[in-house]
Amino acid sequence: MTPKTIAVAGATGLVGQQILAVLDERNYPIKSLRLLASARSKGKTIQFRGETLQVEELTESSFKGVEVALFSAGGGTSKQFSPCAASDGCVVVDNSSAWRMDPKVPLVVPEVNPGAIQTHEGIIANPNCSTIQMVVVLKPLHDAAKITRVVVSTYQAVSGAGVAALDELRAQTRAILAGENPVCDIFPHPIAFNCLPQIPQSDAFIENGYSTEEMKMVNETKKIMGDDSIRVTATTVRVPVFTGHSESVNVETERKLTANEARTILGQAPGLVVEDDPASQMYPLASRAAGRSETFVGRIREDLSHDRALDMWIVSDNLLKGAALNAVQIAEHL
């Protein structure tokens, strides 16, 4: 691959920082790198491959000469700036929810639907973190036995909500242990020592009773898998974990899969590690998945209440495979 001119929009955020780390770790060939963020961060310096780079304010003219832009600066910023970047000939890989369900925009997990990348018209969307780690597991099962329905509950880490949310979890934990009242700025209720069945933290719920995070899992799963017939229902829950989303997933198939068959299929699938030895207390854990690239699956068992269904536990680093790594993998395919 010839070295490219790259921009990272939202470079100072949690995801932006991980994008820089992943570009470096995977030796992505870079001719030059521009770091973009809001006016608030203008002039901050960030080290990359031994060089000191200055953060610039993201404007409409930031993308002249840029070949690939990795965006992680929120939906509003992406709606405003991705089209100008694309019209300057740049390919945008966007981490926000702004473009994901646009029929002209491919929504890509490279292990699942790499072919969709080629159909882009300047913008490629990176899916929601909880959806990405789930479809990496669903795809090989769907190919083997055709999935008809998925029921998922998530246990999502606080880092998904950004730097300030991580600070709030730390401060609330200290307060509660000291016998003081926890202060809530980001989350509507204390997240320390609690579970909140609401993601995101504001404007979460829509008329049908679902949260927008839950609907992302429903809609994005069908689009990435390329199969609208798969029925999906989700309950998404924030838990007091710093990094690593966990998911309890029930998968119904047209053809019966035994737990052993599923383990064999998943053991050969790209991007996955089967950690499934309950006798030795081996199963996926957020604490072990944090900082790792792979998605981990375990507790695979046949559903006692159904003839053709499996239960399983899926865990991955929400900032890596859930965001930065998946975006860089898409950029590598370009």
**Residue 72 binding result from ligand L14, ligand 25A, none, given CB thresholds of 5 to 8 Å by partner type:** ligand 25A
Nearer to ligand 25A, 156 or 253 (CB): 156
User: x/- string (CB under 6 A) for ligand L14, residues 79-108?
Assistant: ------------------x-----------
Q: What DSSP state is assigned to residue 185?
A: S
- Is 214 or 252 the residue whose CB approaches ligand 25A more closely? 214
Our finding on whether 240 is near ligand L14 (CB under 6 A) is: no
Contacts 24+ apart (CB under 8 A), 262-267: 262/141, 262/300, 262/310, 262/312, 263/300, 265/140, 265/141, 265/144, 266/137, 266/140, 266/141, 266/297, 266/300
Binding interface with ligand 25A (CB under 6 A): 10-16, 37-38, 40-41, 58, 72-75, 77, 95-97, 129, 160, 162-163, 318-319, 322-323
d(CA 57, CA 52): 17
Whole-angstrom CA distances from 281 to 18, 137, 277, 299 are 31, 21, 6, 10
Longest dimension (CA), the chain: 60
**Which of residues 41, 78, 82, 156 is near ligand L14 by CB under 6 A?**
156
| Position 213 contacts ligand L14 (CB under 6 A) | yes
Which stretches of 37-128 are DSSP H helices?
75-87
Residue 70 binding ligand L14, by CB under 6 A: no
Catalytic residue from among 90, 120, 129, 142: 129
Q: Which two tokens stand for residue 62?
A: 């930031």
Q: Is 245 a catalytic residue?
A: yes
Cβ–Cβ under 8 Å, residues 311 and 305: no
Site for ligand L14 contains 200 (CB under 6 A): yes
Q: Minimal distance in Å, beta carbon 35 to ligand 25A? A: 9
**Which of these, 253, 264, 273, 258, lies nearest to 313 by C-alpha position?**
273
Question: Which residue from 120, 139, 216, 321 is in contact with ligand L14, where contact means CB under 6 A?
Answer: 216
75 binds, among ligand L14, ligand 25A, none (CB under 5 to 8 A by kind): ligand 25A
The region of 3-11, 23-31, 155-163, 324-332 touching ligand L14 under the rule CB under 6 A is 155-163
In sequence order, which ranges of the chain are alpha helices (DSSP H)?
14-25, 75-87, 129-145, 163-177, 212-225, 259-267, 286-289, 325-333
Which residues of this protein are in contact with ligand L14, per CB under 6 A?
97, 128-129, 156, 160-161, 199-200, 213, 216
State the catalytic residues: 129, 245
